[in-house]
Structure 1
Amino acid sequence: MKKTPLFCLITSFVLLFCITAGDLALAAPYYEGKVITIIVGNEPGGGYDRLARTIAKHLPKHILGKPTVLVQNMPGASSMIAANHLYHIAKPDGMTIGALNRGLPFAQVLKADGVRFDLLKYAWIGSAAVEATVLALRAELPFKTVEDMRNAKTPIMLGATGPTDTGGQFPLLLKEYLGLNLKLVNYTSGADIQLAVERKEVDGRAAAYSSLKPYIERGLMRPVIRGRVSEAGIDHLPMNEDLTTDKRAKTILSMFSGVELIGRPYVVTPGTPPDVMKILRDAFAGIAKDPELKEDSKKQRMEVRYVPPEECLKVLNYLLNQPDDVVKEFGKYIKF
C-alpha cells in the first residue's frame, strides 16, 4: 500500500502521543530521591524543635516518593532570621519548610526591627498545633472565678519572664481590660516561676496549658481563665475575649489570643507551585492522624493538631489589618 504524506503525518502524531504518554506514566513522583529540610527558627531542644523532629520522622511515609526529611536549627530574633531566610533565600520548590515562632504575627503588626517578610505572602502549609493559654493559681487560694480575682483585697502575684513572654502579656491584658487585681513578678525562666509557685513565693502564672497540665492534674494548681483555644480539661473556663463588652478591649484581646490557633506555623517560600503545596498540605493533614506520630508526640507531652492554611490566614488577616490607633494601643502591652 502506498503511504500518502497525510498517512505519515498522522502516524507520526500517534507515535509521539504514545511516547509522551509512556514518559508521563513512568515519571517519578516529585519528591522521589529529594531532601526536604525543615528550618526551625528556635534553639535545639525546645518545643518547636522537638515537634519538628517528630514530624520529620513520620513525614516521609505521607509523601509519594518518600523523601528524606532533615531538621536544621536557625535560631535568632524569635525566628525572624529563619523567616527572612525562607522569604528571600530559599527556593520556591517545596524543599525548604519553615517551622516558625507563633509570635511572628506580633512582630509584623508592630513593625519590629528585622522584619523583612510578609506573613500573608508565604505559601502556608498550615499550623501543626494549637496552643491554649491559661492563667492558673495555687489550688489552695480562694480565687476561683474572674470576679474573685477582680475583687481581691491585695494584688494576686504572678510569675513572668518579661514583656515579650506570653506568660507576662496574657495577665497584663487581663489586668488592663478586665480589671483583675494582678501584679507581675519577673523571673528568668519558666522553671524558676514554677519553683516559685511551689514555694508559695507567687500565687500562680499564665502559660501554655500543655506546660501547666501536669501541675493542674496533680492538684497543685487550678486554672481560672483561658484564651481562644479550648481543649479537654479547660473547656469549662471562661474565655478572656468573652468577659468584656467594650469593643476596643474585645478587639485587643482577640488580636492577642487569635494566634493560639497558629501555635506551630509551617510555611514555605512565596511562589511555590500549587501542586507542590497540595502534596505538603495533604502530608501534614495525614501525619496529624498518624497513630505512630500520636504515640511519639504523647510521650513528649505534645499534641499535633493540623490547622489548614485558610484558618491560619483568617487569623493573620484579622490581626494585620487593624487600624493604626488599635495597633498603637496593642503595642503598649505587647512587645516583641
Structure 2
Amino acid sequence: SDMLDMSRMDLGKLHLELEPVDLTELVRDSLDVLESLLREKSLQPSLEVSGTPQPLMADRARLQQVLWNLLTNAVKFSEPGGRLTVLLRHGDTAATITVRDEGQGIKPEFLPHLFDRFSQSDAATNRRHGGLGLGLSIVQQLAELHGGSVTAHSEGLGHGAAFVVTLPTRRGQPAAVAPLFSDSEQARHIEPLNLAHLAIVVVEDDADAREILGMILQNHGAAVRLATGYEQALALIDEAMPDVLVSDIGMPGKDGYDLIREIRQREQAAGAPRLPAIALTAFARAQDVDTAIAHGFDVHCAKPLRVHDLLATILRIADPAGRPTPV
C-alpha cells in the first residue's frame, strides 16, 4: 500500500530491484492496464515517443507504480471525452515522461504543496474528487530514489495539468530499446545535476543502499567505487585518491567516525590535501551534526536522502571554492 511504501521510504528500507527497463514498453503496458478506466470516461489516450533511447537501469515495478499513480490521477481529474497524452522523450543523458490531461487544472498557489503528504486539493483547487493522499508524494520519492525528479505544471483551473518525470540514463552503452516534449516556459523544473566525472568513494555496509547510491551517482556522471566498510574504503583511497568520500556512519566493527579519523590523521602526517567527506546517518539532531563535523566530516546528510540535495552537496564540497575550511 502507499502508506506502507511511505513508511519504508521514511526508514530508508525501500529497496529497488534494478534491471534494464524498456520505457516505451513500460508506458504502453501501463496504458493497457488502465484501458477500462479510460473507456469508462470516454477518454482518448495518446502516446508520443521521440529521441534515441539510452540504457536505463531501474526497478520496473516501482516505475510502473509511478506511472499508474500519475495516469490514474489524470483519469480521475479529467472530464469525460477529454484527451490524455503521454509524451516520452529520450535525451542524451535523461528520459522524460510527461502525463498531460485536459482536466480541471491546479491553482498556482497549490503547486508548491502538490507533493506534500495528504495534500487536500479541494481546499486549494475546488476539485470535486478530494485530496491526492500519498500518491504524488510516493511518485516524488520513487523518482528521486532512481536519481530523477518529478515536477507539476498547470496554467490554472480549467487548463489541465502536466506531470513530468525525469530519469537519468546511462549513455554510451548498447540500447535495449528503440522509438515530444518541450518544457513550458513557466515550468518549475529541477535540472538534473552533472557530477562531471568526479571520482567518488561510497562506503555503505548495506548492499541495497550501496548499489542504489552508486547507481544514482554514476547516472549523474560520477566515477564511483564502492566499499563495504572501513578496511575496503582505506584500500580504495590508498589505490587512488577520490575527489569526494561519501560514508555511512553506522557500520559493523569500525564505523564511519573511525574511518574519517584515520583519514584525517594520515593527511596530517603526510601534509596531504584534505579529502572532502560527507557523513550519511539516520540521525539528524543538532548534536549528531556537531559530532560528525568534530570527527572530521565536512558535511552531515541525514537519511532518508533527497537525491538532488546530496548531488548539490557533492558538487559544492568538490569545488575548492565551496569546501568548508578545516578547523
> Which has a greater percent of helix?
1
| Structure with more contact order per residue of length (Cα contacts < 8 Å, sep ≥ 6) | 1
> Which has a greater percent of strand?
2
Please indicate, yes or no, whether the TM-score normalized by the shorter chain is above 0.5: no
Report which of the two structures shows the higher radius of gyration computed on alpha carbons: 1
The alignment's TM-score, normalised by the length of structure 1, stands at 0.26
